[in-house]
Amino acid sequence: MTIAVQVPPPAGQLPADFLWGYATAAYQIEGSPEADGRGLSIWDTFSRDPAHTEDGKSGDIATDSYARYEEDIALMKSYGVTAYRFSLSWSRIIPLGGKNDPVNPAGIAYYRKFMKALIANGIEPMCTLFHWDLPQALQDRYTGFCSRDIIEDFVNYAKVCFDNFNDLVNLWITINEPNVYALMGHCLGTQAPGRSSDRKISPEGDSSLEPLIVGHNLLLSHGAIAKLYREGGYKLPGKKLGIVINVNWGEPYDDTEESLEAAADFMSVTSEWYAHPVYCGDYSERTKRVIGANLPKFTPEEIELVKDSSDFFGLNHYTTYLIRRPSSEISGSNMLMRFMGNVETTVTYPDGTEIGPKAGLSWVRPVPWGFKKLLKYLYKNYGKDIYITENGVICPNEGSLPYPEILEDDYRISYFRDYVDQIIALKDSVPVKAYIGWSFLDNFEWQEGYTARFGVTYVDYEDNLKRYPKKSAIYMTEYMGKAIAKA
């Protein structure tokens, strides 16, 4: 099917070295969970319980990209992208995960072959070490990131990856969204490993404490990996390593002092909880006050380990919320609200108007001006180049639209264009170096299963996983081709 698009010229131009493309994660697309010696991950175990995903399905097949990587790379090349963000499957490289466990040569060979194919097609590999799919063996061994014992395992895994892939990778990401992994997996229990204080959800877990412990151990892991990267001879000219944090903008509900403070508390916990240690060495004073005495403490040596341990600010961003103090006391069962700064989020202003139009998921509203405010906020606070490593939306009713109607995703086009326009508007004041959209393909969207379609490529799950470019893919090829200056 041929889709015609009209692409007006962008509002300005981005530098010639600006990277753009799309992102995925290993468990969400690869499938082939036991091929070539791969071990099981916590997401294999978690999603095979049909109660854990909206459609009762797992990532056992996903989009079968492990087998179809050549087809996928050819499609990406046709989109004109210059970068592809993907993750490695830890259990495909070290099936049991640990520092003393054997490395899987077939996993190494596969990823080298895959990265070489990207480079041969003019696509820069942006490689994430950990995108939530911890080897199940390490979860069984000592409850995963609830234990500091895992840090040495993670550093060893990183070393194996650096030793085998550093010649092919110029931009490394240690961890994807540690804040989401800690909270969804260890507070709400709605994502792997599914731990929670709610015994209807999980037989074990402590929602008030475990997210703090897990987050702290993730930060220490990142710091230790950054130290290895810099001191082990891997950080060569032109190469960078960083962490990716999910940050949505919190706009005060109104202009009262109470709402202003609530928004500041929201931003403190949702951004500073992880960003402040990475760039400044310790949790911010506001974060310490908001979270309270259970927040772990860094030793002086650990402060030096994590301080300035990211070469850039890796940002995943989807939406903006209006923030206010809760109308009633936070109940003990609503632990997530406590980890959002003891605030309420809403999308409706006091006058009844909404912050942005409804999308295909309730928690995402397009709010490009909030993205602009966030970029200025992050650069002012941390002074680092910013790489947008995820940004995307689901169109209204997209999950239920038939083919070929589903390919006409004008809502997504408006979202992408409006957000990129904010980067263009700030190009002389905020150094944004990349825009990576989520996602290259419709895929396994964690607890939503296959019901949520973020992709610029439609995947027909009923017909041999055939791929079809949506209108947004075609539009963005031309739009970004015009927006990025020629070298």
Average pLDDT over residues 458-467: 98
Name the CATH superfamily for 19-260+309-483: Glycosidases (3.20.20.80)
Average pLDDT over residues 89-112: 98
Residue 330 has pLDDT above 60, yes or no: no
State both tokens at 301. 């040596």
pLDDT, position 327: 74
pLDDT digits (tens, 9 = 90+) for 224-274: 999 999 999 999 999 999 999 999 999 999 999 999 999 999 999 989 999
Range with the poorest average pLDDT among 234-243, 313-322, 395-404: 395-404
**Catalytic (active-site) positions:** 177, 390
- Domain ranges across the chain: 19-260+309-483
Residue 338 has pLDDT above 90, yes or no: no
Rounded to whole angstroms, the Cα distance separating 139 from 9 reads: 50
pLDDT digits (tens, 9 = 90+) for 293-304: 999 999 999 999
Average pLDDT over residues 450-464: 97
pLDDT, position 399: 86
What's the Rg (C-alpha) of the chain?
Answer: 21
pLDDT digits (tens, 9 = 90+) for 157-172: 999 999 999 999 999 9
State both tokens at 289. 């006050």
Residue 86 has pLDDT above 90, yes or no: yes
Residue 410 has pLDDT above 60, yes or no: yes
Range with the poorest average pLDDT among 3-12, 45-54, 173-182, 222-231: 3-12
Average pLDDT over residues 125-133: 98
pLDDT, position 358: 97
pLDDT confidence tier of residue 3, bands split at 50, 70 and 90: confident
- Closest C-alpha among 266, 249, 279, 268 to residue 374: 249
- The average confidence (pLDDT) of the chain is 96
Residue 329 has pLDDT above 70, yes or no: no
Q: Are 354 and 348 in contact (CB under 8 A)?
A: yes
